[in-house]
Amino acid sequence: MPQPTVPPLGDAPTFLDFPLCEDLAELEPGIAILGIPFSYHYAGDQSPWPQDEAPAAIRQASPRLSVAPEHWDFDVGGPVLAGTSVPVVDCGDAGGDASDPGAHYDCAEEAIRQIVARGALPIVMGGDHGVPIPVFRGLRDQGPITLVHVDAHLDWRNDVGGVTEGYSSPIRRASELDWIDGIYQLGLRAQGSARAEEVEAAKAYGSELFTAYDVHDRGIAAILERIPDGGTYYLTIDADGLDPAVMPAVLGPAPGGLSFEQVRQLIHGLTAKGRVIGMDIVEVAPKFDVNGITAVTAGQLILNLIGTTIRAGYFD
């Protein structure tokens, strides 16, 4: 296979001007940011697909997040990098293009496999919610993994119109992997592609389902208590899992979603109770953004994971 990554598409800068890593064989233990913009679409989907532009938009917005890395960030209780030499790099985007999502997924899977083999923690910017599917596959040697999923929607469809690896199916595909051991889904509300049969399939698997209203009523701390301590966690965040007042640039906005503070608390809680081995933020549709707030919010969640994992000594 050729080099599985290419420099950021669309002439975008790197995220927060972190160094660009063009050869994954040169990665050191630390943080590796990766864009996976393309995915399988369904009949009737828009063309071009708005979420394809998300990695570039988040990178473009990232200078608004930080004046300088040594400045104090109150989200993490100090400078994000904590004065350490932990490397944080941008690996660009998975290779391929929108015309061949299968090849793009293959590049993404190989990129994730190489990133984790080098002891780095991948942070993925999608793309729609189909793009974590190759990420899950690339983590096959890291299990058992507890999957934590923030989303308004269940994402348990086996297929939509014969497409099995699109944005309605990532959690169903994850449930089929031997190295995924436990799924927790937070923020569910309103209607999506799930029918009664998908809800029953999720429950039969043993997925723990928490509506957004469960989270609002009980708090993130109570949800974290249900997730086993000492685990290995992967966090997948669909932008529409948050309230559209916080992340308006989504195709499926639903009032009543999680707040930024709740998702921030989830990131900090998971980092403290076990080991987070990766995170993705998907379903940002930049053309619907308002003052770039969705891209900025996505970027600030990324900074929270970077800051908390460094402070937790993940790379010591």
Tell me, what's the pLDDT at 2? 64
- In the chain, what are the domains? 5-311 (3.40.800.10)
Mean pLDDT of the chain: 96
Structure tokens at 171: 């959690």
Sign of CA dihedral 256, 133, 314, 207: positive
Confidence of residue 68 (pLDDT cuts 50, 70, 90): confident
- Per-residue pLDDT for 124 more than 90? yes
pLDDT tens string 186-222: 999 999 999 999 999 999 999 999 999 999 999 999 9
Chain centroid, CA 244 distance in Å? 17
Which residue shows structure tokens 């076990």?
274
Residue closest to 307 by CA, chosen among 26, 27, 75:
75
Half-sphere exposure at residue 65, Cβ-oriented, CA atoms within 13 angstroms:
26
pLDDT tens string 228-257: 999 999 999 999 999 999 999 999 999 999
Confidence of residue 12 (pLDDT cuts 50, 70, 90): confident
Tell me, what's the pLDDT at 127? 95
Tell me, what's the pLDDT at 115? 98
Confidence of residue 69 (pLDDT cuts 50, 70, 90): confident
pLDDT tens string 39-53: 999 999 988 999 999
| 234 membership: H or E segment, kind and range | strand 232-238
Relative to beta strand 5-6, strand 88-94 is antiparallel
Q: Are 93 and 34 in contact (CB under 8 A)?
A: yes
Tell me, what's the pLDDT at 146? 98
- The mean-pLDDT minimum among 77-86, 132-141, 148-157 falls in 77-86
Mean pLDDT of 23-45: 96
Question: Is 0.75 topped by the overall pTM?
Answer: yes
What are the angstrom distances between the C-alpha of 126 and each of 34, 82, 131, 136, 306? 9, 27, 6, 14, 18
- Per-residue pLDDT for 139 more than 80? yes
| 112 membership: H or E segment, kind and range | helix 101-117
Tell me, what's the pLDDT at 41? 94
Angle between helices 293-311 and 260-273 (to 10 degrees): 20
Q: Phi and psi of 307, rounded to 5°?
A: -65, -40
pLDDT tens string 219-236: 999 999 999 999 999 999
Task: Count Cβ neighbours within 10 Å for each residue of 251-260 and write b for 16 or more, e otherwise.
Answer: bbbbeebbbb
Mean pLDDT of 287-300: 97
Mean pLDDT of 150-173: 97
Residue closest to 232 by CA, chosen among 143, 137, 316:
143
3-state DSSP assignment of residue 168: coil
Tell me, what's the pLDDT at 1? 58
